[in-house]
Amino acid sequence: MGKLFFYYFSLCMLVGCGTGEKNPKNAFFAGEIVNPTSEYVVLFRGDIALDSAKLDEQNRFAFTFDSISEGLYHFNHEPELQYVYLERGDSLMIRLNTLYFDESLIFSGKGEEINNFLLDLFLANEEEASLIRTFYRLNAVVFAGKIDSLKQIRLDALTDLNKGSALSEKKEKIGKASVVYNYNSYKEEYLFKHKKFTGENVIGKLPENFYDYRADLTFNDKDLTYLRPYYHFMNNHMDNLSYMTCTHDCATKKVRVRDLLHFNMHKLKLIDSLVKEKDLRDNLFRYVAFNYLLNVNDQEENNEEFIDRFHKLSDNNRHMQEIDALYEGIKNIQPHKEIPDVAVSDLDGNMISLPDIAGKKKTVFYFWSGTNRTHFEHIKRRVGKLTAEKPEYRFVGINIKTPENIWKGLLETSELDKKMQYHARDFDALTKSLVIDRLNKCIITDDGHIVDAFADVYKPI
């Protein structure tokens, strides 16, 4: 019955159900979500939430806009999101099952053509990932030929779609950019991936025409700023240019180039010199900052030098508050510093600070969530193994993003030491203070002081 209603509802919206012609300035976007994981669907333009729609009792939602700017949007049904391209006059419907979010998504109605093309391209890219991985072992000429062949197949499909559907100029631009930037991004990655898989450094050995497409690059097109292939390409492009500069100018014998402060400084400078479009510029700067601060785990003085340069080049960055908070969080969990004074609750509901839990003993704080049962099963086995192998350590579990009653229920059936289990009532405070960016993270302390705040629970302690 749900399906029949959905298609009847769709037909009504497309033909107006006898209520007169649809206003050509309006846009309608609606759908049905099977197995919903949230009560809402939120529509975004860039990273700004425009509107939200609550699912009704049949798990349907609807947005109606009196006027809308043509372009790329995305809708979020926590924790998933996907593109939707909208313009005036659209009556667009979707149906999806959250168990197979992207694979089950179907667009229908006025505006379906470009949306289904972008979705098919997204799914095709996922299916091609393992094939592309094998290409990186090939020499540059053969690699480029295979990538260009795949790119042409998608461009031909767009041409056929345009013949049958007469896409608007902007829709055609988005479709073409999705194809071109996606496949050219593989070429930007070639130097890194070829060396990773073969050990061969091919800088200076690439064919002269390998990067010919760079002559057509644009760095300042607002329509493309939030297009995933374009943004991904720009990050790879800046990586590549910085890598070539750093390989020539920096000492790189003992350290991976991407982990060097110099490399990330080069990247900031390149973004500053090449990109003027504000949103893209801010987002690329943010990516460099998060990647460097979170993944490199550099010395405190290097982090300070990086953030100083960042402020000089991008002081009006709209992500600055977030980046500064990350920097301060990382500065506070450097080796030899006391573990931050954040409170968590025990099974009896008592609030206890992390310094008090750590005490004078060698302690490993690890994290788990009841929403990820696979991870919970793995962490139980891992903690059991570590407890037997490392009796000199206490292994303290902190649960995050799980309702307290569910947390307690999970512990009842686990073999974890309940005296060593705590619950984070304020997830945001804990995350910011301890910089929790992944569930595999663990923090090692001794005598209440940090030994390693970026350890991995699945690696040797």
Domain boundary among 331, 363, 397: 331
Length of the chain: 461
Domain of residue 49: give its range.
2-110
**Is the residue at 149 inside a domain?**
yes
Tell me how far apart the alpha carbons of residues 299 and 160 are, in angstroms, rounded to a whole number: 54
- Per the DSSP assignment, residues forming a β-bridge with 345 are 351, 423
Please tell me whether residues 96 and 144 are part of one structural domain.
Answer: no
Tokens of 416: 């974890």
**Is the residue at 461 inside a domain?**
no
Q: How many domains does the chain have?
A: 4
Tell me how far apart the alpha carbons of residues 220 and 5 are, in angstroms, rounded to a whole number: 44
Q: Provide the strand spans (E) within 80-137.
A: 80-86, 91-97, 106-110
Give the predicted TM-score (pTM) of the model. Answer: 0.86
**Is the residue at 407 inside a domain?**
yes
Domain boundary among 301, 331, 361: 331
Tell me how far apart the alpha carbons of residues 166 and 159 are, in angstroms, rounded to a whole number: 10
Q: What is the mean pLDDT of each run of 10 residues along the chain (461 residues)?
A: 38 38 75 94 94 95 92 93 93 93 93 95 93 97 97 96 90 97 97 93 92 95 95 96 74 63 93 96 96 90 96 94 95 95 96 96 95 89 96 96 92 92 94 93 97 95 88
**Is the residue at 224 inside a domain?**
no
pLDDT of residue 371: 80
Dihedral angle over CA of 71, 77, 79, 81, nearest 10 = -20
**Is the residue at 338 inside a domain?**
no
Please tell me whether residues 375 and 440 are part of one structural domain.
Answer: yes
Please tell me whether residues 103 and 181 are part of one structural domain.
Answer: no
Please tell me whether residues 100 and 121 are part of one structural domain.
Answer: no
pLDDT of residue 20: 38
Tokens of 188: 């930007």
Write the DSSP symbol of residue 338: B
**Is the residue at 400 inside a domain?**
yes
